[in-house]
Amino acid sequence: MTDWHGRAAALYDGGFRPMFIAGQWVAGRGVAGRAEAVIEARNPATGALLATVPRGTAADIDAAVAAARAAFEGPWAKFTPFERQALLLRIAEKFEQNWETLCLSDTLDMGMPISRTLANSRRVLGMLRFYAGQAVAIHGQTIPNSFPGEILSQTVKEPVGVVGAIIPWNAPIAGSVWKIGPALATGCTVVLKPSEEASLTVLLIAKLMQEAGLPDGVLNIVTGTGAEAGAALAAHPGVDKIVFTGSTATGQAIARAATGNLKRVSLELGGKSPVIVCRDADIDKAVPVAAMAVFANSGQICIAGSRLFVAREIHDEFVRRVGEFAAGLRIGNGIAPETELGPIISARQAERVESFLQAGPAEGAALVTGGARLEGAGFEGGNFIAPTVFGGVTDDMRIAREEIFGPVISALPFDTLEEVVARANATPYGLAAGVFTTHLGTGHKLARRLKAGSVWVNMYHAIDPAVPFGGVKMSGYGREGGLEHLDEYLDTKAVWINTD
């Protein structure tokens, strides 16, 4: 059995971890001259200091963008599609060889149970290998035109240039690869700003990619706050495209900042996803899937199916069984293999979730299970919230309207399919939705009518590198995964040639 505690002690010792610019590990422009020039990375399960990282400045962003530009216009531009493919395959192999270390880093830095991080290998390694395959499949078209004579018209696909990527803290490994993979496949270069809440795994990713032969400047990592480093990256005139995953409010600010040079923008934002359980659903199969649609990663996931609409005929039984399932989940330090729910990322986020736990009963919701912060033996120093289920919820309650980003389910009864579709769509968000039914026609009907970027029928959380993922409405625009994802990183140039 793996000694995760021993490996954890060897991985992070509280020391300083520099950022990565132009192939060099650097302290950053501000570390020597500012009293608060570093950010502490603490284990959300224990509060223990793991490491410190630089609090990057606008000057660090300038240096990283310059490095990315020099690489894009220099050595990286000479890489053929087959050479980019080979590099991505070497990176995938390096990740596979060090997968347990990457997963341990994520578990320590942001709390996701080690059992869950380890299980993400198919998705993450699959992404890298999918993008490697696409690197040699990018091509334009020869298009017939209406001009007389021998005039040829064709399109050429070209990399958009320097990509600024900003990722959240809830899935650093997958979040990084989802931004870096398509950029490398298409020939772009990247400046990546990880969340200040979870930067350590992203720095480890850069180290592994460098060992795999990544040329200097193709990937640059600037750690720091969103208000400082993130804002500077979003507004930077040397960045050709910005990709962001995070809150809707921050996405709106990034979109505004990007107008300076009209850089291209892709946004994957928040959600308040509905899960609809029809009266003919297989309750035994639906209960655990519907519950984990929220409780996976302690509810800290953008696609969390936190609005649970249940047909009135089965509502009471279904909600009771979801509550029993929630009460039986094993909560604790993610480093323990038996842990199913880890901590909330920070004390600040835990306090925010607690405000919803208080708001629910205050507005008339009935607490089925959970509803409190966990303290005492096994939870010392950590940010733990019990998995919570509220019944008696109405559409106008805060817990039914606002994204909580915590382990909280709001159960709402419904009577007809027409009614539940209207209520499910009555939200500014449109990221994901789930449906449980044993009637194929009902599944198809609801999938078509729900306003969401992804709809799962009799399942949830399925994400594959070849399948596009993204939102509509206030959940953002652009897609990650699939061929659409590659197009986000490419410009189409029209070429006309008079051959006569």
Question: Which residues neighbour 218 within 8 Å (Cβ) at sequence distance 6 or greater?
Answer: 68, 71, 76, 184, 189, 190
Is residue 270 scored above 80 in pLDDT? yes
Q: pLDDT tens digits, residue range 328-337?
A: 999 999 999 9
Is residue 34 scored above 80 in pLDDT? no
Residue 28: band (very low, low, confident or very high) from pLDDT cuts 50, 70, 90: confident
For the residues 299-326, what does the mean pLDDT come to?
97
For the residues 158-186, what does the mean pLDDT come to?
97
Q: pLDDT tens digits, residue range 361-376?
A: 999 999 999 999 999 9
Q: Is 338 a catalytic residue?
A: no
Is residue 287 scored above 90 in pLDDT? yes
Active-site option among 302, 340, 403, 488:
302
Q: Is 302 a catalytic residue?
A: yes
Residue 57: band (very low, low, confident or very high) from pLDDT cuts 50, 70, 90: very high
Quick count: other Cβ atoms within 10 Å of Cβ 461? 17
Share of the chain above pLDDT 90, in %: 95
Is residue 411 scored above 70 in pLDDT? yes
For the residues 8-37, what does the mean pLDDT come to?
84
Length reported for the chain: 500
Q: pLDDT value at position 102?
A: 97
Going across the sheet that includes 19-21, the strands are 24-26, 19-21, 219-221, 189-193, 162-166, 241-245, 264-268, 476-477
d(CA 214, CA 94): 12
Q: pLDDT value at position 2?
A: 85
Is residue 32 scored above 80 in pLDDT? no
- Residue 172's identity, in one-letter code, is P
Q: pLDDT tens digits, residue range 72-92?
A: 999 999 999 999 999 999 999
Identify the DSSP state of 228: I
- Residue 106 is encoded by which pair of tokens? 């994520």
For the residues 301-322, what does the mean pLDDT come to?
97
Residue 30: band (very low, low, confident or very high) from pLDDT cuts 50, 70, 90: low
Average predicted confidence (pLDDT) for the chain: 96
Closest of 284, 317, 275, 300 to residue 408, by C-alpha: 300
Q: pLDDT value at position 285?
A: 98
Active-site option among 196, 197, 268, 403:
268
- Residue 434 is encoded by which pair of tokens? 């789930």
For the residues 426-439, what does the mean pLDDT come to?
98
Q: What structural domains does the chain harbor?
A: 4-269+475-494 (3.40.605.10), 274-463 (3.40.309.10)
Q: pLDDT value at position 33?
A: 52
Going across the sheet that includes 274-277, the strands are 366-369, 388-391, 408-414, 307-311, 274-277, 432-436, 454-457
C-alpha distances in Å from residue 434, one per residue of 74, 263, 431, 461? 47, 34, 11, 9
Q: pLDDT value at position 323?
A: 98
For the residues 402-422, what does the mean pLDDT come to?
98
Is residue 434 scored above 90 in pLDDT? yes
Q: pLDDT tens digits, residue range 202-256?
A: 999 999 999 999 999 999 999 999 999 999 999 999 999 999 999 999 999 999 9
Q: Are 155 and 181 in contact (CB under 8 A)?
A: no
Quick count: other Cβ atoms within 10 Å of Cβ 303? 26
Q: pLDDT value at position 31?
A: 54
25: β partners: 20
d(CA 476, CA 62): 27
**Which H helix or E strand runs over 232?**
helix 231-235
Is residue 308 scored above 60 in pLDDT? yes
The 8 Å CB, 24+ separation contacts for 450-453 are 450/274, 450/421, 450/424, 450/425, 451/425, 452/273, 453/479
Q: Supply the Cα-derived Rg of the chain in whole angstroms.
A: 23
Is residue 104 scored above 80 in pLDDT? yes
Is residue 119 scored above 70 in pLDDT? yes
What are the DSSP calls for 120-143, one per residue? THHHHHHHHHHHHHHHTT----B-
